[in-house]
Amino acid sequence: MTITNAERARILVNALPYIKQYTGKIVVIKYGGNAMVNEKLKNSVVRDIVLLHLIGVKVVLVHGGGPEITELLAKIGKQTQFVDGLRVTDKETVEVAQMVLAGKINKSLVNLIECCGGKSIGLSGMDGHMIEAEMKDERLGFVGKITNIDPMPILDVLEKGYIPVVSTLGCDNSGAVYNINADTAAAKIAGALKAESLISLTDTEGILRDKNDPSTLISHITVAETKELIQSGVISDGMIPKVECCTNAILDDVKKVFIIDGRIPHSLLIETLTDEGIGTMFEGE
């Protein structure tokens, strides 16, 4: 489809109110799932992030990397075990997680942002003790529960004009390293930064009243309504912790929180710069 110059101009004019709303504001993006594995989608997401950065949005990218951790563990002959949906993380596994998250994935995202015209610096939660954590459950090993977020390393990077790319590792005062759930970390970071919004890129359209029917998408939902939908079973399984992270961010004074489908090209721009919107938006009341 060919877009005329007049249509391009109209798109930019229509985006102006949203550009004004977000310019100078912090937007935390939680990145993972299919959008991070599929190279074409990865390029689309990163280009959207760079565009937001160039129009003055202070983008903070928080990423996980579960599939790549599992892949590397398999290559070294180590079987992955899960308890209640969480990876059992012994000493060897957390070392692999550190290599994958703070090394391969983090630096590849930084490099891709730079190649797309942005400026980026990679951080891990261990840098400056940004993410302090303790053991969540002895059965899980080095899986962390966040005890404190120090946003200063991120704010310093933003002040210098870079896009912070944060891998979700934490540490305690003894130096022990913990793997942190990326949804949890993104919500806590957004709250500590008092972000304008938190956008979670997922492999689903958002919250559906019928998980098999995309037309039942719930476009707006309150914290109270999420509790009712969890109790009724509408929100279930792996969506429960994602939703709880979103509601916790709202309770931590993040102004707007979204779950959107990262499989849709340019879903970030559709959500932030158009009146169409996409996915589910969380509200306090």
Catalytic positions:
30, 33, 66, 183, 242
Contacts of 180 (CB under 8 A, 6+ apart): 125, 131, 133, 143, 144, 146, 168, 169, 170
Find the radius of gyration of the CA atoms of the chain. Answer: 19
- Say if residues 172 and 129 touch (Cβ distance below 8 Å): no
The angle, 0 to 180 degrees and rounded to 10, between the axes of the packed helices 223-232 and 239-251 is: 160
Closest CA to 249 of 186, 205, 155, 206: 186
The torsion of the CA quartet 122, 125, 128, 131, rounded to 10 degrees, works out to 150
